[in-house]
Amino acid sequence: MITLTQVVLTSCMLAAPAVSSQDLPDISAVAKELSIPKTSAGAPAASARVRETTPGWDADEVHHMLWLPEDWKAGVTYPVIFEYPGNGGHSDDFDGTPESCGLGYGLTAGHGYIWVSLPFIEVTEEKMSIAKKWWGDVEETKRYCRATVALIHAEYGGDPKRTLLAGFSRGAIACNFIGLHDDEIAKLWSAFFCHSHYDGVRTGWPYEGADRASALTRLKRLGDRPQWISHEGYANVEMVQRYLKERIPLTQLTFAPLPYRNHTDAWGLRKLPFRRTARDWLKTACPPNEAEKDD
């Protein structure tokens, strides 16, 4: 049996249990406790997930998804989770669009945090649209990100000092690849949540900048900010840990193997010890308002 004490490796190098990912249980055997809210029509409001386009992109096929928490009130400041999706082409649930994001809701159950699902943007001569695989146009993706972060802070009470960047799979790589791509965008974040994959560990991905030298340049912009780094299976997390140990201090990093074999972010929708540990980390790295701390 896998216990909670096995889940988080923290900053120390520990030997992975002698179990392969394929020997781990399937997460589908655990019933879902939560469901991602459906898209609502109308203006942003508490307890609604709406499709919104940042001004300047109104003529294009570009949008993000915005969730204002159940306790949201105008004039109050809230921590924000900005999230990038995984690659599309797998299923309707993982189609590469902002709608397919789920980490932010699983981590919060809709309470205490603004949750924004960001797009990667493809640029052609005719239009801009959402890139369902990889980064699209990196500069345009970054530009939309910066403008949307500013919008959320100005219009909905997002707190610049409590702004988390999160992602699953492609989105996990994006935490560093996009989030630390240059000095301007890197300064936006107070913490990072990376689940399944990590920038620089695997090379040869089909995009410019997938080499380790480029990844290390991005990594240097992390500084002493906290990162959660998780992956299905123990060996996968240990691989990231070994890669980072050779390059940066591990003091602010938390390594957490998901004790299931599935490549998914749907663990957040299930009542698991792993989710409890992730939520506890979130409350430390990107604290909620005082009224939410003991929930």
What is the model's pLDDT at position 291? 58
Q: What is the tens place of the pLDDT at every residue in 62-88?
A: 999 999 999 999 999 999 999 999 998
What span, in angstroms and rounded, lies between the C-alpha atoms of 283 and 112?
A: 10
Whether 34 is in a domain gets the answer no
94: Cα separation from own chain's centroid:
14
- Split at pLDDT 50, 70, 90, the class of 12 is very low
What span, in angstroms and rounded, lies between the C-alpha atoms of 10 and 5?
A: 11
Which tokens go with 259? 């004790």
Q: How many structural domains compose the chain?
A: 1
The answer to whether residues 153 and 113 touch, using CB atoms and an 8 Å cutoff, is: no
Whether 26 is in a domain gets the answer no
3-state DSSP assignment of residue 45: coil
CA–CA–CA angle 182, 219, 264 (5° rounding):
100
Cβ contacts of 294 within 8 Å, gap of 6 or more: none
Strands 78-84 and 158-168: parallel
Whether 270 is in a domain gets the answer yes
Q: What residue numbers bound the domain in which 149 lies? A: 4-15+44-290
Q: Tell me the percentage of the chain whose pLDDT exceeds 70.
A: 89
Whether 169 is in a domain gets the answer yes
What is the model's pLDDT at position 59? 79
What is the model's pLDDT at position 94? 72
Q: What is the tens place of the pLDDT at every residue in 218-230?
A: 999 999 999 999 9
Q: Averaged over 184-191, what is the pLDDT?
A: 98
Strands 48-52 and 64-68: antiparallel
Whether 99 is in a domain gets the answer yes
Amino acid at 293: K
Cβ contacts of 177 within 8 Å, gap of 6 or more: 135, 199, 209, 215, 218
Q: Looking at the predicted structure, is the pLDDT value of residue 118 above 70?
A: yes
- φ/ψ (deg, to 5) at 195: -120, 120
Detail the DSSP E strand segments found in the chain: 39-40, 48-52, 64-68, 78-84, 114-117, 121-123, 128-130, 158-168, 191-195, 227-232, 253-258
Whether 217 is in a domain gets the answer yes
CATH of residue 248: 3.40.50.1820
Model-level pTM greater than 0.85? yes
State the Cα torsion 254-255-256-257 to the nearest 10°.
180
Cβ contacts of 65 within 8 Å, gap of 6 or more: 39, 49, 50, 51, 52, 98, 99, 101, 116, 117
What span, in angstroms and rounded, lies between the C-alpha atoms of 22 and 14?
A: 20
Q: Looking at the predicted structure, is the pLDDT value of residue 11 above 50?
A: no
Q: Looking at the predicted structure, is the pLDDT value of residue 54 above 90?
A: yes
Q: What is the DSSP letter of 56?
A: T
Q: What's the N-to-C CA distance of the chain in angstroms? A: 28
Q: Averaged over 130-136, what is the pLDDT?
A: 96
CA–CA–CA angle 66, 74, 58 (5° rounding):
40
Whether 29 is in a domain gets the answer no
The answer to whether residues 11 and 259 touch, using CB atoms and an 8 Å cutoff, is: no
Q: Looking at the predicted structure, is the pLDDT value of residue 162 above 80?
A: yes
Whether 295 is in a domain gets the answer no
What is the model's pLDDT at position 6? 37
The answer to whether residues 264 and 231 touch, using CB atoms and an 8 Å cutoff, is: no
